[in-house]
Amino acid sequence: MRARAAVRGDAAAIAAIYNQGIEDRVATFETRPRSPEDIRAWFDGAHPVVVVEQGNRIIAFASTSTYRPRECYAGIAEFSVYVAREGRGRGAGRAAMEALIREAERAGIWKLVSRVFPENTASLRLLRSVGFREVGTYEKHARLDGVWRDVVIVERLIPANLTP
């Protein structure tokens, strides 16, 4: 298993993995499948995206995106992590997150944030084990398939970018 920075050419593989996560309804409020073209738009030069390969197959990705447009928040990024169904539970999620944290540090990001369904124990455990803190819970944050769902807010500081 090897993690590396992603390139635009990885977009189709990333879309396939993201679409499995969307279909599984465990990870996101999104319900619209993404195309490779949607994924290519993630490569904006400011936000790291990483993939994990096994042999020559991409089995996981982690990505960052804009948290808020305000300039004061430029060093905060939202993140996502998804592993292909057949590759889950074998360390790929951890490899993706460790690589993403490294790339985020290089990009000058000082904090990663996201929201996780409280039922997503795999994700909460992974994130705890790579240094995330659970900030609290947003109640009834949005509806997924018509059902109001809570989300746990998570954050991880990147100390190297918090110098005075």
Q: Does 149 bind ligand COA (CB under 6 A)?
A: no
Span of 7-15, 65-73, 98-106, 112-120 interacting with ligand COA by CB under 6 A: 112-120
Is 91 a binding residue for ligand COA by CB under 6 A? The answer is yes
Structure tokens at 3: 């993690």
Q: Which is nearer to ligand COA, 22 or 109 (CB)?
A: 22
- What end-to-end distance do the CA atoms of the chain give, in Å? 37
Classify the phi-psi angles of 89: left when phi > 0, otherwise alpha if psi is within -120 to 50, otherwise beta. left
Nearer to ligand COA, 140 or 162 (CB): 140
Give residue number: closest CB to ligand COA.
93
Concatenating the DSSP letter of every residue in 48-84 gives: -EEEEEETTEEEEEEEEEES-SSGGGTTEEEEEEEE-
Q: Whole-angstrom Cα distance, residue 151 to residue 42? A: 24
Contacts of ligand COA in 55-84 (CB under 6 A): 81-83
Angle at 29 between CA 26 and CA 32, to 5 degrees: 105
* Cβ pair 61, 5 in contact under 8 A: no
CB of 129 to ligand COA, least distance (A): 3
**Which residue stretch of 34-42, 67-75, 117-125, 136-144 sits at the interface with ligand COA (rule: CB under 6 A)?**
117-125
Interaction between residue 125 and ligand COA (CB under 6 A): yes
User: Can residue 121 be called a binding residue for ligand COA (CB under 6 A)?
Assistant: yes
Provide the minimum distance between the beta carbon of 19 and ligand COA in the complex, in angstroms, as a whole number: 11
Tokens linked to 1: 């298993």
Interacting residues with ligand COA (CB under 6 A): 21, 26-27, 81-83, 88-94, 114, 116, 120-123, 125-126, 129
